[in-house]
Structure 1
Amino acid sequence: MTPVDRRTFLKGVGIASVASVTSTAAFASAAAPGVVLPANAPTWKRTPCRLCGVGCGLLVGIEGGRAVAVKGDPDSPVSKGLACVKGYNSVQALYGRDRIRQAMVRRDGKLVPAPMHEAYDLVAQQIKETIRLHGKDSVAMYGSAQWTIADSYVASKLFKGGLGTNNLDTSARLYAGSASAGLRSSFGLDGALGCYEDMDHADTFVLWDINLAETDPVLFSRMLARRRANPAVRIVTVSTRTARTEYAADQALLCAPHSTLAIANAICGELVAREWVNRDFLDRHVAFKRGKTDIGNGAADGGLILENPINATWSEYVAFLTDFTPDQVQAVSGLSVANIRWLASLYGDPMRRVMSVWGRSVNQDVRGTWTNNALYNIHLLVGKLAAPGNGAFAITGQPSNGGAPHDAGTLTGTLPRGRVEDEADRRRAAEIWGVPVERLDPTPSAPLLSMFRQLERGDIRFLWIQATDPMMSLPNLDRYRRAAARTGAFVVVSEAYATPTTDVADVVLPAAMWFEREGIFINVERRAQYFQQMVVPPGDATSDAWQMIEVARRLDLASLFPYEPRSHLDVVWDEYSRFHTDSASSLPPLAELRAQAGLQWPYVDGHETRWRYSAEHDPAADSAHGAFDFYGHDDHRAWIWLRPQEPAAEVPDRTYPFWLT
């Protein structure tokens, strides 16, 4: 197949976009316009799509050692044979002319080709010398929400178990940090409450400022299919703008940016005032909490803000809601009193199964965690969650936002299935990794933006970046580009194509892409999905995990990684599963993942868990606590938080008249 440059690729994507909405054909060519596909039928191999967090199933056609075509996998429980334009055109990304095929090292101000062993030696030498001169916390890694489980786990083991530093964070902090924090604060654990199957049972879908028709069209198609099968089903959107999803909705409501939290509180107030709450559910399964307020807008340096929850009462919660009457919230949000009350009636109807869905607009709000809490509060008040068709679901935009960064220990304060502050968690990690427990630092280090501020100050002097482009995605880019380029900073980048981040690198390592390696992703419904290596990566490109292992061996840490290239995933998954031995987090065996199109954890005695915390569906839920057991919290209750509306960091004015949402 003829190589394509990115301009031709983008033109092809545009043509395929039109075809995807005008044709039912589930086949897309990986060739540029005018290129003829091979005449022989390709061999089809199964994989999950890695281009968002949904985890659709694809079949990739392999011909002559190259990926040449894509179609939807009819056996996928996620997508049921469908795919979106990104999935159909995904294989074209393998064959760009500007693909990075060999390592590059900066000499005399320019990146020049170098053998891989020489690049690995240089990276290891820089880590050793930086730690010798400046201490273990002068080195850091910034990883990716597109990391596989193996990438995430190896990074955690290398930096926290090998080097003894917690300076490890990922781009999941940007995409899904608040979604994860919202789950943990409301329910005690990360991981979705329900699953995509809720879409096959719900009577009403409330989409909170998420344009599913364009961002996650396969999921939206399941909602449309549900409505076609049952004309009584309603799709309602509450959004800051009109997009394609609004055109397909039964009711499209517009609101002001940064007002979802206030609207959610107003709905809760209406549910209470009209006595639509499920008092039995509340009495058995819910506690009320206050947290810190006036916490700023993320501009301050340092660690994350600790919650320190304070007990509250039902009466205090009711009093708190008096600040969010429909009239007051109409002034803040622009959403009418009548529409606020109508939304409350949807949730309050005991005969109606309601699924709420939200995504990046909610999660990336300056009060994203609080807004997640407030949306969960609605469902908790009426007892509509963790049951077929009743669910609250946060969609995140990257393939490993569904588990790898948080659960493999690749956020600054985390260990695999644990926290660095927790002595028992540190001892478990030390035992599994075979390192002294004293090597594991009990103090969380600086999260993402503070990490880059430390690079700017010179506190961090070595930074390894994999599979993400912070010199394009971070705020205040100029300051961090200057920081990376300053004398004394050493930046390593693992990438498949040149980016603004490789422009500032001292070493660039060629990365294998999705079809060119073996791995496991976990999507946003907690579904672990295996994919096999289908084609050989170009040149010296290899997986992110194996690059770290090669460097670890040069750091005298070979004993931590007794892996072989062809079998390292088996060993990594076995180790990773040792952190997940309880029924609340148990993982499926790798052999079963290889045989099926994904399995949801917790996976106990050969059975998936579709709805967590439900005694009927979740083997970890103890029926002694009733129909639900929110075992993530020590009190076995879900927590309703009293989250106030606080102003945005900035609002439009005459000079800057637009909201950027």
Structure 2
Amino acid sequence: MTITRRNFIRSMALNSAAIAAATMFPGISFASWKPIDLPAGSIQWSKTPCRFCGTGCGLLVGVSGEKAVAVKGDPNCSVNKGLCCVKGYHSVQILYGKDRFKTAYVRKNGKMVPTPIKEALDLVAKQMKASIDEKGKDAVSIYGSGQWSIPDGYAASKFFKGCIGTNNVEANARLCMASAVTGCLTTFGLDEPMGCYEDIDNADVFITWGNNMAEMHPVLFSRMLANRKSKTDVRIIDLTTRSTRSSQAADKSIIFNPQSDLAIANAICHEIIKNNWVNQDFVTKHVSFHKGKTNIGYGTEDHFKFKDKQETVDFEAYKTFLADYTPEAAEKISGVSAEDIKYLSALYGDPEKKVTSFWTMGMNQHTRGTWINNLVYNIHLLTGKISTPGNSPFSLTGQPSACGTVREVGTLTHKLPHGVVMKEGARKMAAKIWGVPESNIDPKPTYHTVEMFRALDRGDINFMWIQVTNPMVTMPNLRRYRDGAKKDGRFIVVSEIYPTPTSDVADVILPSALWVEREGFFGNSERRTQHNDQLVPKPGE
């Protein structure tokens, strides 16, 4: 290969311009995407939320022509204050993979064949109508996720619940957040965590319950580290089942046997009561005591029904229950020394220390996830360390809109955009806004996520539209549901951007626009709603 002096000087000038742009606009850019004659200063920067986890960081995306070519953190966003993690810094790359779906595909003679979008949509409508005519409205379903933007989830709920009249609407947040939701509901009577990210700046102690924030929520972990660096006595305690990068950065790492965090939490409450660290004024004014359900199944039984009920008890009954959970007894169960359990108890019990507890999927996908959520709330309620700056039990969300879409606009079988299907007032409100008869909205929930896939396997549901999620990887007892989706008489529609094991079982694949290719809204862990504009064109159809 030969190069002329003129071209060499020209390429050096372009490189210098790129370096200057990087200095002015620090971030990550992807030079291999740029045309060689990209003039300096041609990148236009626009604000958008990141959509790769539930933190909700603000990004600035650089667009040149019709392509996103660079990204950096938004310094004016109160969530991340200009910082990004590796996912944010590489986020725009997902738009441009070579194997991206850009047209519809229809299974013909066992093979997926590229098909005009109108033909594919007509087939979807035909199959949906045939299922309803044959088996009734509850034979069709839609399964989405916390990756749905808020308008996407709202449209899905309106279409299926308001138009078709079935409550067969679910989302994968049922798998990751059901324990967090049920933990909130059974403890507080309302859903959603009460903490916010400013608690990170105000807390004296952070206790991470079975989660690796340094790698999974690195921007929030960085805020914790910044707080510790700016003050003299801030501590990070990593309560974990294995050593991680969070363990390395923590002041103390405590490793427990998997599932035994239940015993640890009860032992902490035992010590708080024993040492008179209970905030009596707060408990008297705001706390009642209840015995929860214990016969709650294991999530694998079709048609499971609860046989026991929650009972109201008094403080003395609760104290008696905790008598079995001494630190020494908990040590035998958890592998954590009684000394370390007492240390944790003293941190929570110290009235001069503000304590924030963080957890995510380690607790929320626990086989007893609701219970462990309840028990950590118990610690904060006993000490009154809740809903004040720096004092927060905080369940972190994994997906960008597990809060903002699923909980807020009703993409679960029992939910509506405001209230639940069981409540007449909520049905009336939705019917009025949607412009449909109230009778269209069924007052009875149908299937939660796992039961919906069981119903697909059984044949009670024979049409399922799956959007922005990959259940043929994420579902428990997966082989049953993969085989069920392939049975005769089942019709699976998948809206996706890339091939997945779920698109492998589809009868129709519909290409999707992603993130900054369209306008939308996302929520985040602290219930912040963020808007994004369309910044680049949608590819293909």
Q: Which amino acid aligns with 1:509?
A: L
Query: What secondary structure is seen at the aligned counterpart in 1 of 2:69?
Result: strand
CA contact (8 A) 2:272 2:345 kept: yes
Provide the residue aligned with 2:482 in structure 1.
481
Query: What secondary structure is seen at the aligned counterpart in 2 of 1:58?
Result: strand
Provide the residue aligned with 1:85 in structure 2.
86
Deviations 1:392-445 (A, max 9, x none): 101121001123102211111111121122222222222222222222112211
Provide the residue aligned with 1:315 in structure 2.
316
Deviation at 1:117, TM superposition (A): 1.4
1:77-226 to 2 correspondences below 5 Å: 77-226=78-227
Q: Distance in 1 between matches of 2:32 and 2:308?
A: 52
Deviation at 1:192, TM superposition (A): 2.0
Q: Distance in 1 between matches of 2:38 and 2:268?
A: 58
Q: Distance in 2 between matches of 1:123 and 1:477?
A: 25
1:400-419 to 2 correspondences below 5 Å: 400-419=401-420
Q: Which amino acid aligns with 2:318?
A: Y
Q: Distance in 2 between matches of 1:360 and 1:467?
A: 20
Provide the residue aligned with 1:644 in structure 2.
none
Is 1:497 the counterpart of 2:501? The answer is no
Q: Which amino acid aligns with 1:356?
A: S
1:580-595 to 2 correspondences below 5 Å: none
Q: Distance in 1 between matches of 2:357 and 2:26?
A: 29
Q: Which amino acid aligns with 1:150?
A: P
Provide the residue aligned with 2:69 in structure 1.
68
Distance 1:33-1:439 versus aligned 2 partners, 3 A rule: closer
Q: Distance in 2 between matches of 1:386 and 1:307?
A: 32
Gaps of 5+ in 2: 1-22
Is 1:283 the counterpart of 2:279? The answer is no
Provide the residue aligned with 1:29 in structure 2.
29
Once the two structures are overlaid, the 10-residue window that deviates more, 494-503 or 116-125, is: 116-125
Q: Distance in 2 between matches of 1:364 and 1:232?
A: 33
Provide the residue aligned with 1:599 in structure 2.
none
Q: Which amino acid aligns with 2:160?
A: F
Q: Distance in 1 between matches of 2:216 and 2:420?
A: 33
Query: What secondary structure is seen at the aligned counterpart in 1 of 2:288?
Result: strand
Provide the residue aligned with 2:18 in structure 1.
none
Q: Which amino acid aligns with 1:30?
A: F
Q: Which has the larger radius of gyration?
A: 2
Deviation at 1:528, TM superposition (A): 0.5
Query: What secondary structure is seen at the aligned counterpart in 1 of 2:356?
Result: strand
Deviation at 1:390, TM superposition (A): 0.6
1:411-490 to 2 correspondences below 5 Å: 411-490=412-491
Q: Which amino acid aligns with 1:144?
A: S
Deviations 1:436-471 (A, max 9, x none): 222211221111111111111111100000000111
Deviations 1:604-627 (A, max 9, x none): xxxxxxxxxxxxxxxxxxxxxxxx
Distance 1:305-1:220 versus aligned 2 partners, 3 A rule: farther
Q: Which amino acid aligns with 2:82?
A: G
CA contact (8 A) 1:420 1:440 kept: yes
CA contact (8 A) 1:103 1:115 kept: yes
Provide the residue aligned with 2:363 in structure 1.
362
Q: Distance in 1 between matches of 2:305 and 2:371?
A: 15
CA contact (8 A) 2:513 2:538 kept: yes
Q: Distance in 1 between matches of 2:388 and 2:329?
A: 33
Query: What secondary structure is seen at the aligned counterpart in 2 of 1:418?
Result: coil
Q: Which amino acid aligns with 1:348?
A: G
CA contact (8 A) 2:145 2:402 kept: no
Distance 1:343-1:26 versus aligned 2 partners, 3 A rule: farther
Q: Distance in 2 between matches of 1:185 and 1:387?
A: 21
Count of aligned residue pairs for this structure pair: 518
Deviations 1:562-602 (A, max 9, x none): xxxxxxxxxxxxxxxxxxxxxxxxxxxxxxxxxxxxxxxxx
Deviation at 1:47, TM superposition (A): 0.6
Deviation at 1:308, TM superposition (A): 4.6
Q: Which amino acid aligns with 2:40?
A: N
Deviation at 1:126, TM superposition (A): 0.9
Q: Distance in 2 between matches of 1:175 and 1:32?
A: 37
Deviation at 1:84, TM superposition (A): 0.4
Provide the residue aligned with 1:40 in structure 2.
40
Deviation at 1:177, TM superposition (A): 1.4
Deviation at 1:291, TM superposition (A): 2.0
Q: Distance in 2 between matches of 1:491 and 1:382?
A: 50
Q: Distance in 2 between matches of 1:478 and 1:485?
A: 11
CA contact (8 A) 1:166 1:412 kept: yes
Q: Which amino acid aligns with 1:159?
A: F
Provide the residue aligned with 2:377 in structure 1.
376
Provide the residue aligned with 1:336 in structure 2.
337
CA contact (8 A) 1:37 1:68 kept: no
Deviation at 1:475, TM superposition (A): 2.0
Deviation at 1:33, TM superposition (A): 9.3
Distance 1:164-1:307 versus aligned 2 partners, 3 A rule: farther
Query: What secondary structure is seen at the aligned counterpart in 2 of 1:45?
Result: strand
Deviations 1:499-543 (A, max 9, x none): 111111111100001110100011010100001100001001xxx
Q: Distance in 2 between matches of 1:229 and 1:322?
A: 40
Q: Which amino acid aligns with 1:529?
A: Q
CA contact (8 A) 1:30 1:67 kept: no
Gaps of 5+ in 1: 1-22, 541-661
Query: What secondary structure is seen at the aligned counterpart in 2 of 1:269?
Result: helix
Distance 1:91-1:304 versus aligned 2 partners, 3 A rule: farther
Deviation at 1:209, TM superposition (A): 1.0
CA contact (8 A) 1:29 1:68 kept: yes
Deviation at 1:303, TM superposition (A): 6.4
Q: Distance in 2 between matches of 1:256 and 1:31?
A: 47
Provide the residue aligned with 1:230 in structure 2.
231
Deviation at 1:62, TM superposition (A): 0.3
Q: Distance in 2 between matches of 1:147 and 1:203?
A: 36
Provide the residue aligned with 1:249 in structure 2.
250
TM-score after normalising by structure 1:
0.76
Q: Distance in 2 between matches of 1:305 and 1:466?
A: 31
CA contact (8 A) 2:162 2:441 kept: yes
TM-score after normalising by structure 2:
0.93
Q: Which amino acid aligns with 1:38?
A: L
Q: Which amino acid aligns with 2:517?
A: E
CA contact (8 A) 1:303 1:446 kept: no
CA contact (8 A) 2:295 2:307 kept: no
CA contact (8 A) 2:516 2:535 kept: yes
Query: What secondary structure is seen at the aligned counterpart in 1 of 2:403?
Result: coil
Query: What secondary structure is seen at the aligned counterpart in 2 of 1:403?
Result: helix
Distance 1:349-1:457 versus aligned 2 partners, 3 A rule: same
Distance 1:121-1:33 versus aligned 2 partners, 3 A rule: closer
Q: Distance in 2 between matches of 1:236 and 1:168?
A: 39
Q: Distance in 1 between matches of 2:496 and 2:34?
A: 29
CA contact (8 A) 2:34 2:69 kept: no
Once the two structures are overlaid, the 10-residue window that deviates more, 525-534 or 441-450, is: 441-450
Q: Distance in 1 between matches of 2:363 and 2:307?
A: 21
RMSD: 1.8
Deviation at 1:32, TM superposition (A): 4.8
Provide the residue aligned with 2:529 in structure 1.
528
